[in-house]
């Protein structure tokens, strides 16, 4: 074949091929082939037939691994780089670690010895606040808890137990220092659970296992004697902390890890006191989807009231960037899968061109496909194949190139026409009943969600609100606008009804499900506050909406007919202004009204309560609303203060919001411009308001905000970093 002058068609076609190759070389959303694990031996995986693209029309249901070989094939398919292997099991420093066969085939209750261990009541008729949670009866971990008499909180590497009431006599009664920084805690009667990321190289050396994806500790203490907490149980879970909830005595604790091939400890590691083991194969599940960034979500059910009870665990393979919602009976884990035009183009290009290549190139492609996944990941194989095709295309004459381009674009357009939407939220339902964890149902809906408040379960109906992102395609004259959808699903996560296409060009900023209704805020220029009727899950109805400048990032019920919103004010043109708190009257569902509002004078005043619901303190009975707040112009030179950094306290009634003052935290120790004095949480006990910044707990009277006491929270200096 005679090489011709490069034409415009050649440039366009090569540009398409080059861009696809660059996307893969850059690691942009690699598509990993195969609907599930292979059937290899667990030592070699080289199968590669065709790129798999997410198909929303296919059924998604969980499957369990049947063998270690099957699990290893899956892990190798998902790995994006070669991992270091760990050798066989043996006694090391008196610690028994399980071999691959024992870990996979024997009981999860294998007992061993000598793992290193760490050193180291609610009052009747007392009115006190609890953590602001989403679902009644489903507690959420936080950095501070109270039982009405004592406060338990973490700062740095130290946990403080404070005799908090009465405020005049408040004092620290004990502390627990950790080598690693605790992040949150639960309190249940006379048991305290504390957890956080775990770093201890000496410990990792003892078990000859260095977790490349982090490790999380979970300690349980007996706090019957508040002055002398007793450590009664230690867990260490491989992975980074993701989410947790507590129902009655059971904590459901979730960590995440990436697939990583290892000969010893092949599945996620659990250290329980002196026992080192891994999650059994039979308790690990996956889904038949082309994972783009696979992660294992490791779910553990821990009875903190009976620390000696057996631990129950399940692991499911999901995508990265998950969200989690939990009702009284079920955990729902969600993530978003995308239908990507460039990925479809690559798949079609490879499928069309393989048979057109020279015999030598076909042999090279076959060799690349058969290469062990430990040597070349699937995305690396695809990139190399695309390079071969790109080189071949350069030598086609202009007519052949144009014909190829037309064939590719025609097939891509036909493929894209199959899909109404380009993104889908996958939903996995995991039922829980004390220690029993069961993978229960799976489903999907178009769009992506904002956060945990985008989901709800009510009378066995799962409700979810999503935003569908705008899409641009080279086959369309203009891009589509974003829209917002609401779906109801039955117990099997089958869609009962949908209400689609709301607020075109906007996106969801906040949602709150309350019984038979959904309150939802979208925004681009103005704030449409929607009232949605969900009383009949097979017939979703939009009852009314209110359009006002600004938006709410968090919605909270005042009562059944009144909603509190916290967010930002905005101009008519959509430019954001100061911090805003609104009261919405929804008694007339067809005509919701903003009946009261407060807007800061400072344009750039901020509150973490916009994004962290646990920082929002509200009591209808006490007419009390408290949020952390700081102004952008905040300065403190050790003597003089400009702006403010503290807790903003409001008197709130059914029809009015009045600011009462700011509990200042500028005197708190800390060198950071904002965060050393930034209020993290607030709570109340009887007539007293407690506000916490990292190094200071202030106590004020609720009625007049007069100062009662202050407790300095001096963190331990024995952590991994020096503190000055």
| Cα–Cα distance measured from residue 375 to residue 367, given in angstroms and rounded to the nearest whole number | 12
φ, ψ (nearest 5 deg) of residue 485? -130, 155
- 251 exposure class (CB count in 10 Å sphere: 0-12, 13-18, 19+): buried
94: left (phi over 0), alpha (psi -120 to 50) or beta: left
- In this prediction, residue 209 has a pLDDT band, given cuts at 50, 70 and 90, of confident
Closest by CA to 162, choosing from 147, 177, 178, 179, is 147
| Cα–Cα distance measured from residue 501 to residue 467, given in angstroms and rounded to the nearest whole number | 9
> For 64-78, 81-95, 280-294, 436-450, which range has the lowest pLDDT when averaged over its residues?
81-95
Percentage of the chain modeled with pLDDT above 90? 64
| Cα–Cα distance measured from residue 260 to residue 241, given in angstroms and rounded to the nearest whole number | 18
Instruction: Name the range with the highest mean pLDDT among 51-55, 84-88, 566-570.
Output: 566-570
The more confidently predicted of residues 612 and 44 is: 612
| Cα–Cα distance measured from residue 79 to residue 89, given in angstroms and rounded to the nearest whole number | 23
pLDDT recorded at residue 16: 56
pLDDT recorded at residue 636: 55
Query: Would you say 584 and 566 are in contact if contact means Cβ atoms under 8 Å apart?
Result: no
| Cα–Cα distance measured from residue 340 to residue 54, given in angstroms and rounded to the nearest whole number | 9
φ, ψ (nearest 5 deg) of residue 395? -95, 0
- Strands (DSSP E) contained in 535-603 are 541-549, 551-559, 562-570, 576-585, 593-599
Closest by CA to 552, choosing from 610, 483, 468, is 610
Whether the predicted pLDDT of 286 surpasses 50: yes
Whether the predicted pLDDT of 130 surpasses 90: yes
- In this prediction, residue 668 has a pLDDT band, given cuts at 50, 70 and 90, of confident
Mean of pLDDT values over 435-454:
97
Whether the predicted pLDDT of 322 surpasses 80: yes
pLDDT recorded at residue 531: 97
- 436 exposure class (CB count in 10 Å sphere: 0-12, 13-18, 19+): exposed
φ, ψ (nearest 5 deg) of residue 628? -65, 145
pTM of the model: 0.86
Whether the predicted pLDDT of 88 surpasses 80: no
Mean of pLDDT values over 316-323:
92
Strands of 688-693's sheet in order across: 681-685, 688-693, 696-701, 707-712
pLDDT recorded at residue 379: 78
Query: Would you say 540 and 485 are in contact if contact means Cβ atoms under 8 Å apart?
Result: no
Closest by CA to 566, choosing from 533, 620, 619, 527, is 527
Whether the predicted pLDDT of 722 surpasses 50: no
pLDDT recorded at residue 33: 33
pLDDT recorded at residue 598: 96
pLDDT recorded at residue 641: 58
- Each residue's pLDDT tens digit, 614-640: 999 999 999 999 999 998 766 655 555
Percentage of the chain modeled with pLDDT above 70? 82
- In this prediction, residue 532 has a pLDDT band, given cuts at 50, 70 and 90, of very high
pLDDT recorded at residue 331: 98
Beta-carbon count within 10 A of 231 CB: 17
Beta-carbon count within 10 A of 134 CB: 18
pLDDT recorded at residue 143: 98
Helix (H) or strand (E) holding 659: strand 656-664
Helix (H) or strand (E) holding 44: none
> For 14-28, 109-123, 444-458, 686-700, which range has the lowest pLDDT when averaged over its residues?
109-123
DSSP string, 395-407: TS-HHHHHHHHHH
Mean of pLDDT values over 119-137:
81
The more confidently predicted of residues 450 and 41 is: 450
Query: Would you say 588 and 525 are in contact if contact means Cβ atoms under 8 Å apart?
Result: no
- Each residue's pLDDT tens digit, 233-250: 999 999 999 999 999 999
The more confidently predicted of residues 377 and 392 is: 392
pLDDT recorded at residue 110: 30
> For 93-107, 382-396, 577-591, which range has the lowest pLDDT when averaged over its residues?
93-107
Whether the predicted pLDDT of 220 surpasses 70: yes
Whether the predicted pLDDT of 22 surpasses 70: no
| Cα–Cα distance measured from residue 554 to residue 539, given in angstroms and rounded to the nearest whole number | 26
| Cα–Cα distance measured from residue 45 to residue 496, given in angstroms and rounded to the nearest whole number | 41
Mean of pLDDT values over 195-220:
91
What distances in angstroms separate CA 48 from CA 53, 360, 377, one per listed residue? Answer: 14, 19, 11
Average pLDDT of the residues of the chain: 85
| Cα–Cα distance measured from residue 331 to residue 436, given in angstroms and rounded to the nearest whole number | 12
pLDDT recorded at residue 640: 53
435: left (phi over 0), alpha (psi -120 to 50) or beta: alpha
- Each residue's pLDDT tens digit, 397-423: 999 999 999 999 999 999 998 899 999
Mean of pLDDT values over 278-299:
94
Whether the predicted pLDDT of 42 surpasses 60: no
């Amino acid at each position: 074949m005679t090489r011709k002058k490069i034409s415009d068609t050649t440039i366009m076609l090569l540009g398409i091929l080059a861009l696809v190759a660059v996307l893969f070389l850059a690691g942009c959303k690699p598509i990993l082939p195969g609907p599930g694990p292979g059937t290899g031996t667990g030592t070699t995986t080289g199968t590669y037939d065709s790129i798999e693209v997410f198909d929303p029309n296919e059924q998604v249901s969980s499957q369990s691994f049947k063998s270690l070989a099957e699990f290893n094939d899956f892990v190798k398919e998902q790995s994006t780089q070669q991992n270091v292997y760990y050798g066989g099991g043996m006694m090391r420093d008196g610690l028994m670690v399980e071999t691959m066969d024992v870990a996979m085939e024997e009981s999860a209750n294998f007992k061993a010895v000598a793992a290193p261990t760490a050193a180291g009541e609610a009052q009747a008729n007392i009115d006190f606040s609890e953590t602001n949670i989403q679902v009644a009866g489903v507690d959420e971990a936080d950095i501070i808890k109270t039982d009405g008499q004592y406060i338990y909180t973490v700062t740095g590497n130290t946990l403080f137990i404070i005799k908090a009431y009465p405020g005049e006599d408040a004092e620290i009664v004990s502390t627990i220092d950790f080598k690693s920084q605790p992040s949150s805690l639960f309190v249940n009667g006379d048991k305290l659970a504390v957890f956080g990321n775990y770093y201890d190289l000496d410990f990792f050396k003892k078990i000859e296992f260095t977790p490349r994806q982090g490790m999380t500790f979970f300690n349980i203490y007996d706090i019957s004697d508040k002055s002398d907490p007793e450590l009664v149980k230690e867990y260490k879970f491989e992975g980074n902390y993701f989410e947790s909830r507590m129902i009655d005595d059971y904590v459901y604790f979730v960590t995440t890890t990436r697939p990583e091939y290892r000969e010893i400890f092949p599945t996620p590691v659990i250290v329980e006191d002196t026992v080192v083991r891994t999650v059994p194969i039979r308790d690990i599940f996956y889904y038949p989807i082309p994972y783009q960034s696979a992660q294992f979500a490791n779910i553990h059910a821990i009875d903190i009231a009976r620390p000696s009870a057996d631990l129950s665990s399940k692991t499911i393979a999901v995508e990265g960037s998950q969200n989690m919602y939990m009702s009284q009976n079920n955990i729902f884990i969600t993530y978003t899968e995308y239908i990507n035009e460039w990925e479809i183009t690559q798949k079609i290009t490879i499928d069309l061109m393989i048979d057109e290549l020279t015999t030598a190139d076909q042999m090279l492609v076959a060799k690349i496909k058969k290469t062990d996944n430990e040597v070349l990941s699937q995305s690396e194989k695809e990139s190399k194949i695309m390079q071969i095709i790109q080189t071949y295309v350069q030598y086609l004459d202009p007519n052949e190139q144009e014909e190829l381009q037309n064939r590719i674009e025609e097939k891509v357009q036909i493929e894209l026409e199959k899909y109404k939407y380009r993104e889908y939220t996958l939903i996995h339902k995991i039922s829980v009943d004390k220690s029993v964890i069961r993978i229960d149902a799976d489903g999907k809906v178009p769009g992506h969600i904002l956060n945990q408040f985008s989901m709800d379960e009510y009378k066995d109906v799962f409700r979810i609100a999503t935003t569908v992102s705008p899409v641009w395609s080279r086959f369309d004259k203009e891009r589509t606008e974003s829209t917002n959808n609401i779906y109801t699903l039955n117990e099997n996560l089958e869609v009962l009804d949908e209400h689609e296409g709301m607020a075109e060009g906007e996106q969801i900023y906040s949602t709150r499900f309350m019984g038979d209704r959904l309150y939802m805020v979208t925004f681009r220029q103005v704030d449409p506050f929607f009232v949605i009727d969900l009383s009949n899950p097979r017939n979703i109805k939009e009852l009314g909406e209110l359009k006002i400048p600004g938006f709410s990032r968090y919605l909270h019920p005042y009562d059944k007919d009144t909603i509190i919103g916290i967010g930002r004010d905005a101009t008519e043109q959509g430019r954001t202004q100061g911090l805003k708190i609104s009261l919405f009257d929804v008694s007339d569902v067809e005509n919701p009204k903003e009946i009261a509002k407060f807007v800061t004078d400072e344009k750039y005043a901020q509150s973490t309560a916009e994004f962290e619901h646990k920082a929002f303190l509200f009591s209808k009975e006490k007419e009390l609303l408290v949020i952390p707040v700081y102004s952008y112009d905040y300065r403190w030179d050790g003597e003089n203060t400009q702006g403010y950094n503290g807790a903003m306290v409001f008197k709130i009634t059914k029809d009015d919001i009045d600011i009462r003052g700011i509990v200042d935290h500028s005197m708190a120790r800390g060198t950071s411009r904002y965060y050393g004095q930034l209020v993290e949480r607030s709570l109340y006990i009887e007539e007293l308001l407690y506000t916490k910044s990292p190094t200071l707990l202030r106590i004020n009277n609720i009625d007049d905000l007069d100062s009662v006491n202050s407790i300095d929270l001096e963190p331990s200096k024995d952590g991994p970093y020096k503190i000055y």
